Structure 1
Amino acid sequence: MFDMTAAVFSRRQSSNAVNSPSSATSSSTKKSKHASSSPTSGMPTTASLDLHYLPDDKPVFACHSCSKVVALQDELVSKAFNGRSGRAYLMNSTINTSLGKIEERKLLTGTHTVADLLCASCKESLGWMYIKAPNGDQRYKEGRYILEAARIIKENNW
């Protein structure tokens, strides 16, 4: 199983405090118990272990089973998706997650190559990662994640 113990925040390099190593040590940023790291790409091949700290006041999504933070609200792309258990969110990145086996899965918009997305702490299934889309109009999903609303909770200033 591929370990995604942290965020794929490489898509949001600019103004996020999470991305800036200097902001992680800034006295004006509260340090949190939630750590993240950034893989070199969104594909399940490698991950780096650069630790950054999330401020306690950032709105986040957490695993409904163990309450481990799995995504920042800032990484939300769309709420207009469906998962196996109903409503789902398309995310640019996740943290504290791991990926299961890569497989072809028939979804509403065609057959996609996906990998199940698991909580790194309790191994609960949270959704999946899009590895490869079937055609051009679906390619925007590649490297992004589905978090199923029924499997996560919202925390901090929602």
Structure 2
Amino acid sequence: MESGANSLYRCSNCRNPLALVEDLLSKNFIAKSGKAYMFQHAMNVVLGPKYDKQLITGRYSIADIFCSKCGEELGWKYVQAYDMKNRFKEGKFILEEIKMFQKY
């Protein structure tokens, strides 16, 4: 096992593992509760139905994501970006900072 492989972000409500530190792409996102992070992958999450939403950077098709253990709403997954310059976000996960903590 590589060093840092145990570095995880966990659900602040039930401690369920949500994302690996090495999958963190950006800490420069804003969500309902404030600061949020973008991840390449997320684990132990359940996707809600997809819907279109106007966000700060444009219009997207997104799906809310919830903790698979406690059901806490954690953020969203970008399903589709309608603006070409935001296509890099497709398939990525946004997790709200307040809903998770980092555990080494």
TM-score interval, smaller chain = over 0.9
2:97 maps to a residue whose letter is A
Higher relative contact order (CA 8 A, sep 6+): 2
Aligned partners of 1:81, 1:139: CA distance in 2, in Å?
16
Residue 98 in 1 paired to residue 42 in 2? Answer: no
Does the residue aligned with 2:66 lie in a helix, a strand or coil? strand
Counterpart CA distance in 2 for 1:73 and 1:155 is 9
Runs of 4+ aligned residues of structure 1 deviating over 6 Å after TM superposition are none
- Cα distance in 2 for partners of 1:149, 1:133 equals 23
Report the TM-score when normalising by structure 2.
0.94
What is the distance in 2 between the residues matched to 1:139 and 1:80?
A: 17
Aligned to 2:71: 123
- Greater per-residue strand proportion: 2
Task: State the number of aligned residues.
Answer: 104
Cα distance, 1:59 vs. partner? 1.1
| Aligned residue in 2 for 1:155 | 103
> Alignment identity in percent?
34
Residue in structure 2 matching 1:79, options 27, 40, 45 = 27
User: In terms of Rg, which structure is larger?
Assistant: 1
Structure 2, unaligned stretches of length 5 or more? none
**Equivalent in the alignment of 1:61:** 9
RMSD of aligned residue pairs (Cα, Å): 1.7
Q: Residue 105 and residue 56 in structure 1: after superposition, are their counterparts in 2 closer, same or farther (change >3 A)?
A: same
